[in-house]
């Protein structure tokens, strides 16, 4: 390390590794991981999100989880929470649908209305 | 790019480690790998998070959930419920006074009045990771100083910030730097004083353990400002983890090119090494510390010459405390004005304190200067435990003094505390409830100072021993009229005549307790009574015959067989042979035994007649 620019490079990479601890988050993906969600494959859904985000190097997206959301018939259920926008809830998710949501909603900013089961709080 | 979705921060400060943090960490590794979750969850060991009383503690991100008193048996539940199902375990969360559950770290009241500057990363980053320190802005201050400032510019920034030494004395940091900067010597040294020895103080240890790179960066900026290219960390051997972490930080910085030759492309070269102290309290005094660094016996030397002109190996040296260095990178990153906007007129910034004693939230806190003692003890510290009343607070350890309830609204800054007979000291705060005997507290600190006196100068070596003997006499019931005045006379003389800071300040605990609790000294001497029932010679045990059921349990448990009686007559304690062990009080099923202040009249009469007899012999 010889210059401040070198330091900045390391800092940016390290901040990326620490993004879970707060900081620069644009979209939060909340996967419902209650018993029925897990039974319907929520773990696979969450894993796919993590993989897709990693593959695309999306540094400002956070995956987290919550408990039973009450929509048992539509599990796995996933919320996309974006600062300043109404919450979007997707239902009956599968790894295939996740890939589409990542491309359309997260990357291009277009809600995939076919999978949406609710919006707002 | 990782697939991690949870950062699990386990506090591995010394408090939590002794409460079992490492076992919990191992258990997490076991459970997570058994459930195939190891690649989704980051387990990070951090430095002290502060609320040591609740240890072992942990924080789980991204939510910031705070768990207290976690045991290895809780791990499986945390993994199953929180990590897999996303349902945080409410049972392990903190409850507030109205039994409401506090889930996240930022809602914990303990943290709310705190402002973290030196401790900003403690409990937030992995202290063994250089990258994590850099992620929080680490080494940017150093890079900026080296590439855009002259040494004099850097000193001016510190002058503007108003930073004063955090080790106790409160000497303006920029003045020390300026003196060494102005010295034209070829060789100069920068020294970090990590010889923290006050009973109950653990600020420096936590900083060195929790954020070692910050201290190193602070030291390097100081070295640049004064023109030194060698640094020494003097850390006491009782802090093995701190030593290990700072050594690791040094080797990481060397490897990354942050230390060595031409740092950040400038002409500045620097290297540092660690020296361990052998556990002498006096080595925290800067001249004794320098002697010890040179390989001599750790004895202080007269000042002047000050270390700034003739320090280590006769060369100009700056000795700064760990916490002082801890503030420096942030001052350069956020600006001197920002730092100076906190605190009072003469005391700027924040101060780290170690809260201990009869208080709800014992632990490590950082508060802005000028906060009142009341806010620190009752809001941050959570008040006194066990339904007792606040009696006194001891600030500054063996060099400091006690303040009372009437001082609770005193702002915490260097001058206000000194005016009232206490001192900021390095930051140890011992809170005492109404069950503490102040004479005994003074005796404890005096005993410590007698033990730790290096013996070089006679006021400290002989005078303190005299003071201790008087205090022992008073607490054992042999105090006499004039003892208080004699303590004051000795104390003042020792303060004036001792060679170094240890001796000069050692009488403070006695003088301040006489100032604020003179009535306690008087009742010990005149009435032979310790109202708090701490001094065993000045209290006795009694059995209330109206309550006694004659079960004989106390008589059977008495190690010296001084309790006699029967079911009909009830039981009585014979005061002369009683050794005041307290067994009878513990075993009594109906609470008929109680502690009574004052020497029992029988014992007092016997002692008096013995004293007369021995006087007679002397004549």
Q: Which residues of chain A neighbour B88 with C-beta distances below 8 Å?
A: none
Interchain proximity A65–B131, CB inside 8 Å: no
- Write down the pLDDT at residue B267: 93
Whole-number Å distance between alpha carbons of B543 and B87: 55
Number of H helices, E strands in chain A: 4, 5
Interchain proximity A17–B139, CB inside 8 Å: no
Task: For residues B53-58, give the mean pLDDT.
Answer: 90
Interchain proximity B85–A35, CB inside 8 Å: yes
Which of B2, B5, B90 is the best mutation test for A, with the most CBs of A within 10 A?
B5
Total beta-carbon pairs less than 8 A apart between chain A and chain B? 95
Contacts of residue B147, Cβ cutoff 8 Å, sequence gap at least 6:
A4, B264, B265, B266
The position carrying tokens 């004989």 is B552
- pLDDT tens per residue, range B61-78: 887 889 999 999 999 999
Give me Rg for the CA atoms of chain A: 16
State the smallest CA–CA distance between residue B182 and chain A in angstroms: 29
Task: For residues A56-83, give the mean pLDDT.
Answer: 80
State the smallest CA–CA distance between residue B147 and chain A in angstroms: 9
Q: B291 in helix, strand or coil?
A: helix
B455: tokens are 């013996």
Interchain proximity B4–A20, CB inside 8 Å: yes
- Write down the pLDDT at residue B336: 96
More confident residue, B586 or A19: B586
- pLDDT tens per residue, range B251-260: 999 999 999 9
- Write down the pLDDT at residue A112: 85
Comparing CB atoms, the residue among A11, A50, A67 nearest residue B85 is A67
Task: Specify the CATH number for the domain of residue A54.
Answer: 3.40.30.10
- Write down the pLDDT at residue B3: 67
Interchain proximity A4–B144, CB inside 8 Å: yes
- CA separation (Å) from A76 to A39, A45, A98, B349? 9, 8, 11, 51
Least Cα distance to B174 among B26, B327, B289, B53 occurs for: B327
Task: Quote the DSSP letter at residue B463.
Answer: I
Q: Which residues of chain B neighbour A38 with C-beta distances below 8 Å?
A: 84-85
Which of A9, A10, A21 is the best mutation test for B, with the most CBs of B within 10 A?
A21
A15: in domain: no
Exposure of A27 in the CB half-sphere (CA atoms within 13 A):
21
State the smallest CA–CA distance between residue B541 and chain A in angstroms: 57
Q: What is the 3-state secondary structure (H, E, C) of B416-441?
A: HHHHCCCCCCCCEEEEEECCCCHHHH
Name the interface residues of A facing B (CB cutoff 8 Å).
1-4, 7, 10-11, 13-18, 20-22, 25, 28, 31-35, 38, 43, 46-47, 50-51, 54-55, 57, 62-67
B187: tokens are 């060789």
A41: in domain: yes
Interchain proximity B86–A35, CB inside 8 Å: no
Whole-number Å distance between alpha carbons of B65 and B246: 29
Comparing CB atoms, the residue among A7, A14, A21 nearest residue B61 is A21
Exposure of B63 in the CB half-sphere (CA atoms within 13 A):
18
The position carrying tokens 């199953």 is B80
Interchain proximity B6–A17, CB inside 8 Å: no
Whole-number Å distance between alpha carbons of A69 and A92: 13
- By percentage, how much of chain B surpasses pLDDT 70? 99
Q: Which residues of chain A neighbour B135 with C-beta distances below 8 Å?
A: 11, 14-15, 17-18
Task: Decide yes or no: CATH 1.20.1440.230 for domain B438-525.
Answer: yes
CATH entry, B130-340, from 3.20.20.70, 3.40.50.150, 3.40.50.2000, 3.40.50.11540: 3.40.50.11540
More confident residue, B147 or B362: B147
Q: Which residues of chain A neighbour B1 with C-beta distances below 8 Å?
A: 16, 54-55, 57
Task: Pick the range with the lowest mean pLDDT from A92-96, B28-32, B227-231.
Answer: A92-96
Whole-number Å distance between alpha carbons of B198 and B355: 13
For residue B486, pLDDT over 90 is answered with yes
Rounded to 5°, the CA angle A37-A42-A43 comes to 130
For residue B86, pLDDT over 90 is answered with no
Band (B611; pLDDT cuts 50, 70, 90): confident
- pLDDT tens per residue, range B514-542: 999 999 999 999 999 999 999 999 999 99
Average pLDDT across chain B, whole number: 92
A8: in domain: no
State the smallest CA–CA distance between residue A9 and chain B in angstroms: 10
**Hey, what's the torsion of the CAs at A82, A87, A88, A91, to 10 degrees?**
120
Q: Which residues of chain A neighbour B265 with C-beta distances below 8 Å?
A: 2-3
Q: Which residues of chain A neighbour B84 with C-beta distances below 8 Å?
A: 33, 38, 43
Whole-number Å distance between alpha carbons of B21 and B71: 8
Whole-number Å distance between alpha carbons of B249 and B604: 62
Band (B619; pLDDT cuts 50, 70, 90): low
Comparing CB atoms, the residue among A11, A63, A64 nearest residue B135 is A11
Interchain proximity B135–A18, CB inside 8 Å: yes
Q: Which domain holds residue A53?
A: 23-119
Do residues B495 and B418 make contact, with C-beta atoms less than 8 angstroms apart? no
- pLDDT tens per residue, range B383-440: 999 889 999 999 988 888 999 999 999 999 999 998 988 888 888 899 999 999 999 9
CATH entry, B538-603, from 3.40.50.1980, 3.30.70.20, 3.40.190.10, 3.30.1330.10: 3.30.70.20
Do residues B119 and B364 make contact, with C-beta atoms less than 8 angstroms apart? yes
Whole-number Å distance between alpha carbons of A1 and A7: 7
Class of domain B350-433: alpha beta
Contacts of residue B613, Cβ cutoff 8 Å, sequence gap at least 6:
none
- CA separation (Å) from B419 to A15, B375, B471, B488? 46, 20, 25, 18
Do residues B197 and B167 make contact, with C-beta atoms less than 8 angstroms apart? no
Whole-number Å distance between alpha carbons of B439 and B441: 5
- pTM reported for the whole predicted model: 0.87
Comparing CB atoms, the residue among B62, B87, B139 nearest residue A20 is B62
A9: in domain: no
Comparing CB atoms, the residue among A4, A64, A67 nearest residue B143 is A4
Angle between the B173-182 and B212-226 helix axes, to the nearest 10 degrees?
Answer: 40
- Write down the pLDDT at residue B590: 94
Band (B331; pLDDT cuts 50, 70, 90): very high
Least Cα distance to B8 among B26, B31, B25 occurs for: B25
Task: Pick the range with the lowest mean pLDDT from B18-32, B55-69, B477-491, B565-579.
Answer: B55-69
- Number of compact structural domains in chain A: 1
Task: Pick the range with the lowest mean pLDDT from B113-127, B262-276, B483-497.
Answer: B113-127
For residue B2, pLDDT over 70 is answered with no
Element (H, E) at B243: helix B240-255
Task: For residues B11-18, give the mean pLDDT.
Answer: 89
Task: Parse chain B into domains and list their residue ranges.
Answer: 6-108, 130-340, 350-433, 438-525, 538-603
- Write down the pLDDT at residue A121: 60
- Write down the pLDDT at residue B351: 95
CA of residue A106 relative to chain centroid, distance: 8
Buried b (16+ CB within 10 A) or exposed e, B320-343: bbbbbbbbbbbbbeeebeebeebb
B395: tokens are 């600030």
Q: What is the 3-state secondary structure (H, E, C) of B162-211?
A: CCECCCCCCCEHHHHHHHHHHCCCCCCEEEEEECCCCCCCCHHHHHHHHC
DSSP string of B380-414, one letter each residue: IS--BSTTPPEEEEEESGGGSEEEEGGGTTSB-SH
Name the interface residues of B facing A (CB cutoff 8 Å).
1-7, 9, 40, 42, 61-64, 84-87, 124-125, 131-132, 134-135, 137-140, 143-144, 147, 256-258, 262, 264-265
Interchain proximity A65–B64, CB inside 8 Å: no
CATH entry, B6-108, from 3.40.30.10, 3.40.50.920, 3.30.920.30, 3.40.50.360: 3.40.30.10
Q: How far does chain B reach from its first CA to its final CA, in angstroms?
A: 91
Buried b (16+ CB within 10 A) or exposed e, B219-256: bbbbbbbbbbbbbbbbbbeebebbbebbbbbbebbeeb
Band (B618; pLDDT cuts 50, 70, 90): low
- pLDDT tens per residue, range B147-184: 999 999 999 999 999 999 998 888 999 999 999 999 99
Task: For residues B269-282, give the mean pLDDT.
Answer: 93
Q: Residue B256: closest CA among chain A residues belongs to which residue?
A: A1
- Write down the pLDDT at residue B1: 43
State the smallest CA–CA distance between residue A85 and chain B in angstroms: 20
Reading phi first (left if > 0) and then psi (alpha if -120 to 50, else beta), residue B248 is in alpha
A37: in domain: yes
Asked if residue B305 has a cis previous peptide bond (ω within 30° of 0), the answer is yes
Do residues B532 and B489 make contact, with C-beta atoms less than 8 angstroms apart? no
């Amino acid at each position: 390390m010889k210059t401040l620019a070198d330091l900045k490079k390391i800092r940016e990479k390290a901040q990326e590794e620490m993004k879970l601890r707060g900081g620069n988050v644009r979209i939060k993906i909340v996967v419902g991981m209650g018993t029925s969600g897990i039974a319907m494959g929520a773990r696979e859904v969450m894993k796919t999100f993590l993989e897709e985000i990693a593959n695309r190097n999306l540094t400002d997206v956070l995956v987290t989880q919550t408990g039973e959301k009450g929509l048992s018939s539509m599990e796995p259920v996933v919320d996309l929470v974006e600062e300043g926008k109404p919450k979007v809830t997707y239902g009956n998710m599968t790894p295939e649908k996740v890939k589409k949501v990542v491309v359309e909603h997260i990357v291009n900013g277009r809600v995939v209305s076919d999978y949406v089961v609710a919006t707002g709080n | 790019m990782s697939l991690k979705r949870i950062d699990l921060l386990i506090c591995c400060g010394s408090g939590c480690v002794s409460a079992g943090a490492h076992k919990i960490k191992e258990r997490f590794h076991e459970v997570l790998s058994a459930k195939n979750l190891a690649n989704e969850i980051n387990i990070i060991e951090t430095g002290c998070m502060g609320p040591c009383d609740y240890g072992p503690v942990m924080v789980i991100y991204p939510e910031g959930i705070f768990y207290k008193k976690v045991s290895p048996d809780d791990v499986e539940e945390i993994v199953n419920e929180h990590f897999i199902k996303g349902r945080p375990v409410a049972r392990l969360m903190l409850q507030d006074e109205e039994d409401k559950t506090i889930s996240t770290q930022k809602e914990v009241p303990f943290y709310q009045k705190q402002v973290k500057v030196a401790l900003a990363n403690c409990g937030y980053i992995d202290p063994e990771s250089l990258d994590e320190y850099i992620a929080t802005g680490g080494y940017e201050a150093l890079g900026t100083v080296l590439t855009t400032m002259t040494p004099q510019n850097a000193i001016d920034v510190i002058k503007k910030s108003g930073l004063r030494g955090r080790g106790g004395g409160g000497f303006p940091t920029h003045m020390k730097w300026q003196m060494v900067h102005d010295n034209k010597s070829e060789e100069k040294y920068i020294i970090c004083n990590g010889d923290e020895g006050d009973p109950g103080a653990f600020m420096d240890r936590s900083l060195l353990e929790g954020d070692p790179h910050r201290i190193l960066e602070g030291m390097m900026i100081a070295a640049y400002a004064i023109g030194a290219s060698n640094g020494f960390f003097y850390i006491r051997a009782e802090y093995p983890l701190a030593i290990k972490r700072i050594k690791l930080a040094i080797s990481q910085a060397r490897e990354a090119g942050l230390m060595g030759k031409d740092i950040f492309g400038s002409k500045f070269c620097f290297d540092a090494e660690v020296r361990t102290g052998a556990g002498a309290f006096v080595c925290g005094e800067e001249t004794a510390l320098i002697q010890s660094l040179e390989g001599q016996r750790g004895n202080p030397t007269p000042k002047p010459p000050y270390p700034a002109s003739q320090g280590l190996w006769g060369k100009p040296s700056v000795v700064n405390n760990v916490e002082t260095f801890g503030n420096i990178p942030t001052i350069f990153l956020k600006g001197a004005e920002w730092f100076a906007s906190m605190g009072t007129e003469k005391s700027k910034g924040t101060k780290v304190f170690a809260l201990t004693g009869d208080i709800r939230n014992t632990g490590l806190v950082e508060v802005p200067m000028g906060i009142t003692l009341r806010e620190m003890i009752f809001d941050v510290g959570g008040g006194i435990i066990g339904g007792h009343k606040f009696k006194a607070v001891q600030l500054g350890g063996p060099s400091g003094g006690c303040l009372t309830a009437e001082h609770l609204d005193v702002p915490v800054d260097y001058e206000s505390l000194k005016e009232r007979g206490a001192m900021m000291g390095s930051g140890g705060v011992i809170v005492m409830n109404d069950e503490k005997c102040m004479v005994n507290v003074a005796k404890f600190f005096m005993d410590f100072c007698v033990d730790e006196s290096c013996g070089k100068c006679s006021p400290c070596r002989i005078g303190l021993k005299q003071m201790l003997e008087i205090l022992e006499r008073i607490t054992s019931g042999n105090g006499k009229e004039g003892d208080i005045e004699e303590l004051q006379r000795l104390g003042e003389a020792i303060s004036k005549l001792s060679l170094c800071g240890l001796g000069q300040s050692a009488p403070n605990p006695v003088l301040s307790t006489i100032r604020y609790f003179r009535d306690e000294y008087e009742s010990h001497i005149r009435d032979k009574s310790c109202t708090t029932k701490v001094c065993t010679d000045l209290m006795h045990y009694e059995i209330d015959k109206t309550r006694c059921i004659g079960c004989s349990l106390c008589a059977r448990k008495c190690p010296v067989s001084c309790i006699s009686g029967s079911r009909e007559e009830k039981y009585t304690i014979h005061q002369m042979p009683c050794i005041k062990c307290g067994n009878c009080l513990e075993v009594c099923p109906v609470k008929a035994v109680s502690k009574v202040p004052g020497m029992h009249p029988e014992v007092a009469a016997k002692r008096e007649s013995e004293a007369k007899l021995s006087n007679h012999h002397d004549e």
